[in-house]
Amino acid sequence: MTDYRKMWSDLGMDLEKHDLLTSALPLVYEEVYLQQKDRPQAMEYFDLVVAEIHSLRIAELVEHRRRGGKVCGAFCVFVPVEIVRAAGAIAVGLCGGSQFWIPDGEKVLPRNLCPLIKASLGARLSGTCPYFQSCDLLIGETTCDGKKKAWEVLGEFAPVYVMDLPQMKRPQDLAAWRKEIELFLAMMEELTGCRVTPERLAEEIRLQNRLRRALERLYRARKADPVPVSGKDVLLVTQVSFYDDPSRFIEKTEAVAAEAEERIASGRGVFPSGAPRILVTGTPMAIPNWKLHHIIETAGAVVICEETCTGTRFFEHQVDESGQTLEEQLQALAERYLKINCSCFTPNPGRIDDILRLVEEYRADGVIYYNLQFCHGYAIEYYAVEKALKARGIPVMKVETDYSEEDAGQLRTRVEAFLEMLR
Ligand code: BJ8
């Protein structure tokens, strides 16, 4: 087996601390993933990705940089990765999903802040995340207040570029966002020394659209009853999409989707037909945050869709591929990305329409509203979401939680009571 310690040490990582982080993962993964029954065989690839999470892909990033290429990290699905790649760089998602990084994050950030932000900064500060260590540039964005202020702190430890995302969706906001993407393109060209041509950008737009369609295909399979693949497995696939090589990811995801479709044809499911079907909506779940899905799916229900940024908000809507010039392509990118319904927008009625549509499409029996602690945007938006769901008689429950296991027992009790009510 290859020894990656030299690679990690060359990346400036804290090896002792890193050992602590990686020693816990196999046990958790065994319990949450490997003990599931009758998983699609094609999930083996994703098991391997997790087993080698800090090695195989990192070696590719290191090699890319050795050849003079750049690596950019992003924290939000608003960052147009098509442009990053068209400029010759590799894009990786960096959102922290582990409790391990919280104490380091709290050294520089308030404790009463969203765990995703604290873990993301903690990952950088602790020197235990090789993805952070491999990045030449970190790309932040002005979404929630927590994130946009955290970039100022992060900027003391690494180069950070911030994209200014409008908070409304009026025509002038679209124009401003288009301009922002144009500035982003110029910055990327300067960083990499590569010109973004319409041909290269068209290629990356097509590739990212294919990636979106692969996820869409896998999600479509979840509409069946019995459901052919667990919510946990699909969540993992989506999480991996943020940092895997896009072409390889498409191939591997298509393989899981194809297997799921074969199962549907033969009526085979991973949960019994009639198991309560749960739609999860709310804040993203960065790897290795599998907490809520694990509780739901070990309580006899199945997660059939996520209206989150590690779910439909990431892959819905294609970028129009007909643009021939950079101007047209930038417009198409701006339009597509501004369709994402994050709670940082005011007002944000599109998200409610999405949730209602997805409940119907995926035949959900109930909705669990997943709110990371101290995420005010999503917490406040619950008012409107609950009202809309209740008006249609769709049961909904809100859970507010962090990355720790402290409230797992309490959460389980609440989820079980909700499922009991659905039955
Ligand atoms: S587009 S959801 S990925 S901002 S959970 S950090 S909002 S306090 S992650 Fe997000 Fe982009 Fe929106 Fe999606 Fe802030 Fe809330 Fe934390 Fe969040």
Q: Is the pLDDT of residue 373 over 70?
A: yes
Q: What residue has token string 């009526």?
A: 267
pLDDT digits (tens, 9 = 90+) for 31-51: 999 999 999 999 999 999 999
Atom of ligand 1 nearest to the CA of 117: 6
Cβ(51)–Cβ(170) under 8 Å? Answer: no
Looking at residue 101, what DSSP letter applies?
A: G
Render pLDDT for 380-417 as a digit per residue (tens, 0 to 9).
999 999 999 999 999 999 999 999 999 999 999 999 99
Handedness of CA 7, 121, 158, 151 (dihedral sign): positive
Average confidence (pLDDT) over 81-91? 98
Whether the per-residue pLDDT at 358 is higher than 80: the answer is yes
pLDDT of residue 2: 74
Separation of alpha carbons 91 and 243, rounded Å:
7
Comparing CA positions, the residue from 394, 381, 120 lying closest to residue 242 is: 120
Question: 301 and 419 in contact (C-beta within 8 Å)?
Answer: yes
Atom of ligand 1 nearest to the CA of 309: 13
With cut-offs at 50, 70 and 90, classify the pLDDT of residue 3.
confident
For residue range 198-219, list pLDDT tens digits in order: 999 999 999 999 999 999 999 9
Task: Please say if the pLDDT value at position 1 is more than 60.
Answer: no
Share of the chain above pLDDT 90, in %: 99
Ligand 1: residue of 114, 120, 316, 317 to mutate (most ligand atoms within 8 A of CB) is: 114
The three-state secondary structure class of 306 is strand
Q: Region 59-75: what's the mean pLDDT?
A: 98
pLDDT band at 277 (very low <50, low <70, confident <90, very high): very high
Ligand 1 atom with least separation from CA of 145: 14
Q: From the CA of 289, how far away is ligand 1's center (Å)?
A: 15
In angstroms, rounded to a whole number, what is the distance separating the alpha carbons of residues 331 and 326? 8
Residue 141 has pLDDT above 60, yes or no: yes
What residue type is assigned to position 16 of the chain? E
- Report cis status (omega within 30 of 0) of the bond before 246: no
Mean pLDDT over each residue of the chain, to the nearest integer: 97
Q: What is the DSSP string of 17-83?
A: HHHHHHHHHHHHHIIIIITSSS--GGGHHHHHHHHTTTTHHHHHHHHHHHTT--EEEESSTTS-HHH
Do 282 and 294 form a contact (C-beta atoms < 8 A)? no
d(CA 256, ligand 1 centre) in Å: 28
Q: What is the DSSP letter of 161?
A: E
What does the block give as tokens for 300? 């006899």
Residue 292 has pLDDT above 80, yes or no: yes
